[in-house]
Amino acid sequence: MTMVVHKLSTLQRRAILDHLLTLSGEDRRLRFGAAMADAALARYVEGIDFASDKTLGIYGGGLELIGFGHLAINCEGVFAELGLSVTPAQRKHGYGTALLARAVLYARNIGLHTLYMHCLSENLEMIRLARRAGLSVVANRGEADGSLALREPDFGSIASELMHDQIALVDHLFKQELRWTANMAAAGAGIRRAGSL
């Protein structure tokens, strides 16, 4: 599956929550640094400020979110902290890497100076991902902090983001068409079965 990263909006709140609910208790603890019941996840999603933060996602063929990134930007617009999650069945396919790269590009293009990632030091997969992306990671007392100094935007980075946005639009339209076609085929099969009774 192609790794097209989409910018999400408030319209995707339910899809974000559905994605987070696929995470096991241990996955939630590793992602948020503490146990998160379903109600706590719902409060987290409801509290996302889509006006100031940036949310990113990767859709599966049925338009379900299989990867999610939340870039929480500080009030002064100087730095942001990124949190990532990938549906368990879709891990080790590069989706986390794609989300992180897209977050770095976006953060750079809006003029942020630093990107941070924070996780438990036992979350070795996230630490490896951060280091592969060039973040400097320091582990101390059960927690790990990664940081990346961002370069200033240039024509290439801005053009790259515009290209990614256009690809994401085409990807979403294509997947909507596939889902519509599958639904119509299923409805047609149901009508044929009912007519044969």
- For 73-106, the pLDDT digits (tens) are 998 889 999 999 999 999 999 999 999 999 999 9
Q: Report the C-alpha gap between 87 and 62 in whole angstroms.
A: 14
The pLDDT value recorded for residue 177 is 85
Residues 6+ apart with CB under 8 A from 84: 31, 67, 68, 69, 96, 99, 100, 117, 126, 129
pLDDT confidence bin for 117, thresholds 50/70/90: very high
DSSP lists the bridge partners of residue 138 as: 145
More confident residue, 6 or 177: 6
pLDDT cut 70: percent of the chain above it: 94
What's the chain's average pLDDT? 91
Detail the DSSP E strand segments found in the chain: 6-7, 54-59, 65-73, 79-86, 114-120, 136-140, 143-149
- For 6-42, the pLDDT digits (tens) are 999 999 999 999 999 999 999 999 999 999 999 999 9
HSE, side-chain direction, 13 A CA sphere, residue 13: 12
The pLDDT value recorded for residue 149 is 96
Q: Report the C-alpha gap between 31 and 83 in whole angstroms.
A: 7
The pLDDT value recorded for residue 37 is 96
Domains and CATH numbers, the chain: 6-183 (3.40.630.30)
Average pLDDT over residues 164-178: 87
Question: What counts of helices (H) and strands (E) characterise the chain?
Answer: 6, 7
Q: Report the C-alpha gap between 69 and 103 in whole angstroms.
A: 8
Q: Give the tokens for residue 39.
A: 């109600």
pLDDT confidence bin for 183, thresholds 50/70/90: confident
Quick check: 147 pLDDT over 60?
Answer: yes
